[in-house]
C-alpha cells in the first residue's frame, strides 16, 4: 500500500530518502520497435550530414590544417572556459526548473547530475539524456514524476531560448550574408512558445493518456514562470556562441562575431531538432559550415575544434561530477509545488509521494 503523503505548508520542505518511490508507470521511457526505427533514422541523417562534412574536410583539408597549426592558444583557452560556463549554466537553470516544481537541490549536485546524465546525448535516440538525468535525479531523492518532467521542461526551455537568440541575431546575420534553408528551423519558435503553455501541455498529456491507456502525471509551472525560465537560459547561448567564435578567432582574425555566434546557436538548434542523431553529430557541423560566413578551411577547422572542445568539457564535467551525481542521500528537499496547476488545485500528484512499501 502507498502511504498517505505528508500535507505541507507553503515554504516547508522535507528530506527525501534515497528510496523514494513513485507511480510505477511514470518511469523512464521504454524502447521498442519505434525507438529502434528512430535510432536507425537518426544514424542515417547523421551519417549523411557527416559525409557532407567529411567531403568538405577533404576538399579544404590543406587550408584547414594550416589554420589548425597556427591556432592562437589564448583564444582556444577562452573557448574552453566559455564552453564550460555554458554547459554548467544549463545544469544551474535546470535546478531552477526543479525549484519551480517544489524541489530544492544544491547547485553542485544538480550540475553533477546534468554532466553525468547528459552523456546519453551521444547515443542514438533523443530519449537518453532525459533518461540519464531523470534517473540520476530520481535516485538522488527527487520524486520520479517531477524528475522526468523537469528534464523535459528544461530541454524545451533551453532550445526555446536558443530560438529566441537566433531570431534576435537573424537581421544582423542576413545583412552580412545570404539566406540559408537552415534558417527555416526558426519556424519552431512560435510552436514551442505555444506548446509551453500549461493548458496546451495538459491537452497533450490527455491525448497521450487516451492513446496509451496509461496514467500520465505531469506537473507544469504557469506559462509566465516557464517563459521566465526560458529567459534564464539566454546566457547559456551567449556562452556557447561566443565560445565557438573564440575558436574561429583563434584561427583567423577576420571571423565575423555576430555571424559566427548566430551560426553556432542555429547549429545546436538543428542538432537538437534532428532528435535521433547522437548529439547532432554531423548536423551541427553542416549548419556551421553553411551559415557562419567563414572561409572553407576556417569553417571546417572551427567545426572540428568546437566539437572537440564541447565533447571534452562534457566528459571532464562528467568525470569530476560522478562522485557527487551518484551520491544517493542528502541535499534534496521536496515540498509543494509553488504556483503550479497541481498545487492550486489542492493536492499532490499521484505517484509523487514516498512509497510505503
Q: Sketch the domain layout of the chain as residue ranges.
A: 39-329
Asked if residue 127 has pLDDT above 80, the reply is: no
* Total Cβ atoms within 10 A of residue 339: 14
Percentage of residues of the chain with pLDDT beyond 70: 58
Residue 20 confidence (pLDDT): 38
Lowest mean pLDDT among 160-164, 168-172, 222-226: 222-226
Confidence band of 286 (pLDDT split at 50, 70, 90): confident
Indicate the pLDDT class of residue 341, thresholds 50, 70 and 90: very low
Query: Is residue 235 scored above 60 in pLDDT?
Result: yes
Residue 113 has what pLDDT? 93
Q: Round to whole Å and give the CA distance between 270 and 255.
A: 22
- Average pLDDT for residues 150-171, to the nearest whole number? 89
Q: In the beta sheet, which residues pair with residue 260?
A: none
Query: If you ran DSSP here, which 8-state letter would residue 58 be given?
Result: H
Over the range 300-327, which residues count as b (16 or more CB within 10 Å of their CB) and which as e? bbbbbbbbebbeebbeebbeebeebbee
In terms of Cα–Cα distance, which of 300, 277, 278 is closest to 288? Answer: 300
Mean predicted confidence (pLDDT) in 265-280: 71
**What's the pLDDT score for residue 12?**
40
Tally Cβ neighbours within 10 Å of residue 76.
Answer: 17
What are 77-120's pLDDT values in tens digits?
999 999 999 999 999 999 999 998 889 999 999 999 999 888 87
What is the rounded average pLDDT of the residues 168-177?
A: 74
Which whole number is the average pLDDT over 60-68?
60
Dist CA 4 CA 354 (whole Å)? 9
Q: Tell me, what's the pLDDT at 327?
A: 76
pLDDT for 276 equals 52
pTM exceeds 0.85 for this model: no
Q: Which residues contact 321 (CB under 8 A, 6 or more apart)?
A: 111, 112, 113, 114, 115, 116
Q: State the pLDDT at residue 290.
A: 81
C-alpha cell at position 267? 547549429
Task: Please give the pLDDT value at position 218.
Answer: 60
pLDDT, average across residues 221-233: 84
Instruction: Name which residue leads in pLDDT, 183 or 243.
Output: 243
Identify which has the larger pLDDT, 53 or 346. Answer: 53
**What's the grid cell of residue 315?**
566528459
Question: Which region among 1-5, 170-174, 212-216 has the lowest average model confidence (pLDDT)?
Answer: 1-5
For residues 280 and 264, the answer to whether their CB atoms sit within 8 Å is no
pLDDT of residue 2: 41
User: Does residue 196 come out as left (phi exceeding 0), alpha (psi in the -120 to 50 range) or beta?
Assistant: alpha
H-type alpha helices, the chain: 33-69, 73-100, 107-118, 128-139, 144-176, 188-195, 198-212, 223-232, 234-251, 257-273, 283-291, 296-325, 341-344
C-alpha 137/C-alpha 110 separation (Å) is 8
**Of 225 and 214, which is predicted with more confidence?**
225
- Whether residue 348 is predicted with pLDDT greater than 90 in this model: the reply is no
Q: How high is the pLDDT of residue 185?
A: 59
d(CA 211, CA 238): 40
Residue 343 CB neighbour total at 10 angstroms: 18
45-57 pLDDT, tens digit per residue, is 444 544 554 554 5
pLDDT of residue 74: 94
Q: What are the grid coordinates assigned to 228, written together? A: 521566465
Position 195 pLDDT exceeds 90: no
Spatial separation of the C-alpha atoms in residues 332 and 334, rounded to whole Å: 7
**Is residue 31 very low, low, confident or very high in pLDDT (cuts 50, 70, 90)?**
very low
The CA radius of gyration of the chain, in Å to the nearest whole number, is: 21
Amino acid at each position: 500500500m502507498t502511504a498517505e503523503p505528508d500535507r505541507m505548508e507553503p515554504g516547508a520542505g522535507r528530506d527525501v530518502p534515497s528510496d523514494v518511490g513513485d507511480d510505477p508507470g511514470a518511469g523512464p521511457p521504454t524502447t521498442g520497435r519505434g525507438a529502434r526505427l528512430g535510432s536507425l533514422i537518426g544514424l542515417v541523417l547523421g551519417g549523411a550530414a557527416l559525409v557532407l562534412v567529411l567531403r568538405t574536410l577533404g576538399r579544404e583539408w590543406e587550408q584547414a590544417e594550416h589554420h589548425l597549426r597556427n591556432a592562437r592558444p589564448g583564444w582556444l583557452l577562452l573557448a574552453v572556459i566559455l564552453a564550460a560556463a555554458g554547459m554548467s549554466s544549463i545544469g544551474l537553470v535546470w535546478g531552477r526548473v526543479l525549484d519551480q516544481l517544489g524541489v530544492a537541490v544544491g547547485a553542485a549536485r544538480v550540475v553533477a547530475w546534468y554532466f553525468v546524465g547528459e552523456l546519453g546525448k551521444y547515443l542514438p535516440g533523443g530519449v537518453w539524456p532525459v533518461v540519464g538525468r531523470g534517473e540520476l535525479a530520481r535516485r538522488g531523492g527527487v520524486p520520479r514524476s517531477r524528475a522526468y518532467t523537469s528534464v523535459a521542461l528544461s530541454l524545451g526551455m533551453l532550445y526555446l531560448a536558443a530560438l529566441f537568440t537566433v531570431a534576435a541575431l537573424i537581421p544582423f546575420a542576413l545583412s552580412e550574408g545570404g539566406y540559408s534553408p537552415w534558417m527555416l528551423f526558426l519556424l519552431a519558435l512560435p510552436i514551442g512558445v505555444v506548446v509551453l503553455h500549461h493548458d496546451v501541455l495538459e491537452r497533450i498529456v490527455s491525448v497521450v493518456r487516451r492513446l496509451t491507456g496509461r496514467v500520465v502525471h505531469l506537473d507544469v509551472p504557469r506559462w509566465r514562470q516557464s517563459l521566465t525560465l526560458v529567459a534564464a537560459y539566454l546566457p547559456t547561448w551567449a556562452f556557447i556562441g561566443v565560445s565557438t567564435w573564440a575558436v574561429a578567432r583563434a584561427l583567423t582574425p577576420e571571423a565575423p562575431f555576430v555571424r559566427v555566434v548566430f551560426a553556432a546557436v542555429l547549429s545546436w538548434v538543428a542538432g537538437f531538432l534532428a532528435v535521433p542523431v547522437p548529439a547532432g553529430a554531423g548536423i551541427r557541423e553542416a549548419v556551421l559550415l553553411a551559415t557562419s560566413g567563414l572561409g572553407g578551411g576556417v569553417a571546417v577547422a572551427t567545426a572540428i575544434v568546437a566539437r572537440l572542445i564541447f565533447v571534452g568539457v562534457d566528459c571532464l564535467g562528467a568525470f569530476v561530477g560522478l562522485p557527487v551525481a551518484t551520491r544517493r542521500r542528502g541535499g534534496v528537499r521536496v515540498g509543494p509545488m509553488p504556483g503550479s496547476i497541481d498545487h492550486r488545485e489542492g493536492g499532490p500528484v499521484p505517484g509523487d509521494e514516498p512509497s510505503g512499501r
